[in-house]
Amino acid sequence: MTVKVGNEIFDKLGMKYPIVEGGMTWAGTGALAAAISEAGGLGFIGTGYWHGDDVRKEVRRAKALTDKPFGVNVMLMSRHIREVFDVIIEEGVKVVATGAGDPSPFLDELHAAGIVVMPVIPSVSLAKMMQRKGVDAVIAEGMESGGHIGQMTTMALVPQVVDAVDIPVIAAGGIADGRGVAAALCLGASGVQMGTRFLASPESEVHENFKKKIIKARDIDTIVTGNIAGSRARVLKNKMAKEYVKKEIEEAQKPAPDYETVEKLESGTLRAAVQQGDKDGGAFMAGQISGLIHEEKPVADILADTWAQATDILGIPNTTK
């Protein structure tokens, strides 16, 4: 059996490597997305709960830096989602990745505008549902990932999703070098999505403290907040994360737990980590693979080295050489 590298979407977008940047709210800026697309991957701008105008500003920043296609990652739960999609269509963005919800109400208009739609999914049932609704590909994301996560691991999730759907599957979570890419392709994915690895690069605009924390991290240095009180998110351990987890456990013992107050502890903390490098109070979202990242590296080198290693392991031609 040979692995299938890439898919028709990657071909259409003219990508050199089957490697996508995971959308990362605040951390995945237009500059980082542009650098990744320019180097032959597919960059994504993370937009979280942003207004349309903020999305437009960042999209224009990326456009000023590259002529290559890049994507926008949207949070479907956002109150501003309508204006965000208007901006995406107006600005001619080529790809949208969606999280936290069902993109199907917007599919027809996005497809009419020629936009590829790839939801992030944490389970086989959601992958099948998304295929039925007509999305173009799915990003199967394991709980090793940084940021908001489901329950399945990448290793267990990806082959099950591959068997369940006919559309391209992109594997995400716990991938930071060529071994991870080769493994994902062996599981049947046609490409990978990486988040944490790209944060430790000169093109990444996260605060120096964030980069240092990833580089210093060991395998066991992440923790999941929100297991009880809210939505689960993987972050690097610090004062805020430990307090959050302690408080949600305390609250769960009470007859009438007040999870809303616990959840508020996390409000604004990702931005504080990304922009201020707030060591104690920030939410340094990052994956378990942080322990494999020992140095800052330009995104062009991350992509080239990762792909060279993957093709070497798989014994397939490194077509970009």
Residue with smaller CB distance to ligand FMN, 66 or 306? 306
Residues 210-269 that bind ligand FMN (CB under 6 A): none
Residue with smaller CB distance to ligand FMN, 40 or 287? 287
Euclidean distance between CA atoms 193 and 142, whole angstroms: 11
Residue with smaller CB distance to ligand FMN, 196 or 238? 196
48 binds ligand FMN (CB under 6 A): yes
190 binds ligand FMN (CB under 6 A): no
Residues 4-23 that bind ligand FMN (CB under 6 A): 22-23
The single residue among 43, 174, 188, 282 that binds ligand FMN, judged by CB under 6 A, is 174
Token look-up 């965000």 returns 84
Euclidean distance between CA atoms 198 and 242, whole angstroms: 25
Residue with smaller CB distance to ligand FMN, 77 or 252? 77
Retrieve residue 166's tokens.
Answer: 């006919």
Residue with smaller CB distance to ligand FMN, 6 or 282? 282
Residue with smaller CB distance to ligand FMN, 118 or 265? 118
Q: Which amino acid is at 305?
A: D
Select the span of 51-59, 168-176, 239-247, 307-315 touching ligand FMN (CB under 6 A): 168-176
Given strand 147-148, what is the order of strands in its sheet?
147-148, 233-236, 222-225
Pairing state between β 233-236 and 147-148: antiparallel
Q: Is 249 helix (H, G, I), strand (E, B) or coil?
A: helix
Residues 259-298 that bind ligand FMN (CB under 6 A): 285-287, 289
Retrieve residue 20's tokens.
Answer: 């996508």
The single residue among 29, 66, 145, 269 that binds ligand FMN, judged by CB under 6 A, is 145
How many chain residues touch ligand FMN (CB under 6 A)?
Answer: 28
194 binds ligand FMN (CB under 6 A): yes
Cβ neighbors of 98 (< 8 A, separation 6 or more) are 73, 74, 76, 117, 118, 119, 120
Q: What is the DSSP letter of 195?
A: S
Secondary element (H or E) of residue 255: none
40 binds ligand FMN (CB under 6 A): no
Euclidean distance between CA atoms 44 and 4, whole angstroms: 23
The single residue among 7, 29, 193, 306 that binds ligand FMN, judged by CB under 6 A, is 193
Residue 28: phi, psi to the nearest 5? -90, 80
Which residues in this chain contact ligand FMN in the complex, by CB under 6 A? 22-25, 27, 46, 48, 73, 99, 120, 141, 144-147, 172-175, 193-197, 285-287, 289
